A and B are shown apart, each in its own frame.
Chain A
Amino acid sequence: MRELHVDQITRVVAKLAEETNFFLGEDVCRRISLCREQEDWPVAGDILEKIEENIRIAGEERLPLCQDTGMACVFLEVGQDVHLTGGNLEDAVNEGVRKGYTEGFLRKSIVADPIRRGNTGDNTPAHVHYEIVPGDRVKVILAPKGFGSENMSRIKMFPPSAGAEGVKDFIVQCVEEAGANPCPPIVVGVGIGGTFDRAALMAKQALLVPLEEPHPDEFYAAMEEELLERINGLGIGPQGFGGRTTALAVKIKTFPTHIAGMPVAVNINCHVSRHGEVVL
Chain B
Amino acid sequence: MNEIRLEAPFSREKLKELKAGDSVLITGTIYTARDEAHKRMVEMLRQGKKLPFDIRDALIYYAGPAPARPGQVIGSVGPTTSYRMDPYAPVLLDLGQAGMIGKGPRSPEVKEAIVRNGAVYFAAIGGAAALIARSVTAAEVIAFEDLGAEAIRKLTVKDFPVTVAIDSQGNDQYELGKIKYLNKNRE
Q: Which residues of A contact B (CB under 8 A)?
A: 40-44, 47, 50-51, 53-54, 57-58, 61, 63-69, 105-109, 117, 119, 121, 148, 151, 179-183, 234-237, 239-244, 270-272
Q: Max chain A CB contacts within 10 Å: which of B68, B77, B78? A: B78
- Which of B68, B127, B173 lies in contact with A183, CB distance below 8 A? B127
Specify which of A47, A50, A64, A234 lies most central, judged by the most chain B CB atoms within 10 Å of its CB: A64
Please tell me if the beta carbons of B67 and A179 are within 8 angstroms of each other in the complex: no
- Nearest CB to that of A41 among chain B residues? B181
Is chain B's binding surface mostly helix, strand, loop or mixed?
A: mixed
Q: Contact: A183 with B130, CB < 8 Å?
A: no
Q: Which chain B residues numbered 59 to 105 have a C-beta less than 8 Å away from chain A?
A: 63-69, 75-78, 80-81, 83, 103-105
Q: Please state if B148 and A66 are interface contacts (CB–CB under 8 Å).
A: no
Contact of A236 among B103, B148, B163, B178 (CB under 8 A): B178
CB distance from B74 to the nearest CB of A (A): 9
What's the least CB distance linking B110 to chain A, in Å?
Answer: 14
- B66 in contact with A57 (CB, 8 Å): no
With contacts A240-B178, A241-B174 taken as known, whether A54 is within 8 angstroms of B127 at the C-beta atoms is yes
9 A-B pairs besides A53-B128, A235-B178 with CB distance below 8 A are A57-B130, A61-B130, A64-B130, A65-B127, A66-B129, A105-B67, A108-B148, A119-B150, A271-B127
Pair B66/A51 contact, Cβ less than 8 Å? no
11 contacts between A and B (CB under 8 A): A41-B184, A63-B66, A66-B78, A107-B64, A107-B65, A151-B81, A239-B103, A239-B125, A242-B181, A243-B181, A271-B127
The residue of chain A having its C-beta at the shortest distance from the C-beta of B180 within the complex is A242
Q: Which of B1, B127, B149, B161 has the most CB of A within 10 A?
A: B127
Is there contact, CB below 8 Å, between B65 and A67?
A: yes
Q: In the complex the two chains form, what is the Cα distance from A39 to B128 in whole Å?
A: 19
CA distance A240 to B67 in the complex (A): 28
- The answer to whether B104 touches A241, judged by C-beta atoms less than 8 angstroms apart, is no
Whether the pair A179, B174 counts as a contact (CB closer than 8 A) is: yes
**Contact (Cβ within 8 A) A54 B178:** no
The answer to whether A180 touches B78, judged by C-beta atoms less than 8 angstroms apart, is: no
Residue of B nearest to A42 (CB): B1
Q: Which residue of A lies closest to B131 (CB)?
A: A54
Tell me which residues across on chain B come within 8 A of A57, comparing CB atoms.
130-131, 134
State whether A63 touches B148 (Cβ < 8 A): no
Write the chain B residue with the least CB distance to A57.
Answer: B130
Is the CB–CB distance between A107 and B178 below 8 Å?
no
Bound form: Cα–Cα A235–B67 in Å:
36
Chain A residues in 8 Å Cβ range of B67: 105-107
The 0/1 profile, CB within 8 Å of A marked 1, for residues 127-141 of chain B is 111110110000000
Separation in Å of the A207 CB from the closest CB of chain B? 15
B52 within 8 A of A: no
| Residues on B with beta carbons closer than 8 Å to the beta carbon of A243 | 177, 181
Q: Is the CB of A270 within 8 A of B126?
A: yes
Q: Does B4 contact A (CB under 8 A)?
A: no
- Which residues in A have their C-beta under 8 angstroms from that of B7? none
Q: Please, which residues of chain A bring their CB within 8 A of the CB of B78?
A: 66-68
Cross-chain contact A63 with B76 (CB below 8 angstroms): yes
Bound together, the chains give a CA A53 to CA B149 distance in angstroms of: 24
Name the distance in Å between A227's Cβ and chain B's nearest Cβ: 19
Q: Report the separation of the CA atoms of residues A184 and B163 in the bound assembly, to the nearest whole angstrom.
A: 16
Query: Would you call B128 and A181 a contact (CB within 8 A)?
Result: no
Question: Contacts of B128 on A, CB cut-off 8 Å?
Answer: 50-51, 53-54
Whether B76 contacts A58 by the Cβ 8 Å rule is yes
Q: For A53, what are the chain B residues with a Cβ–Cβ distance below 8 Å?
A: 128, 131
List chain B residues, Cβ under 8 A from A183: 103, 126-127
Docked complex Cα distance between A235 and B163 (Å):
18
- Are A107 and B103 neighbours in the complex by a CB distance under 8 Å? no
Interface check B147, CB cutoff 8 A: yes
Which one of A63, A235, A239 lies within 8 Å of B75 (CB-CB)? A63
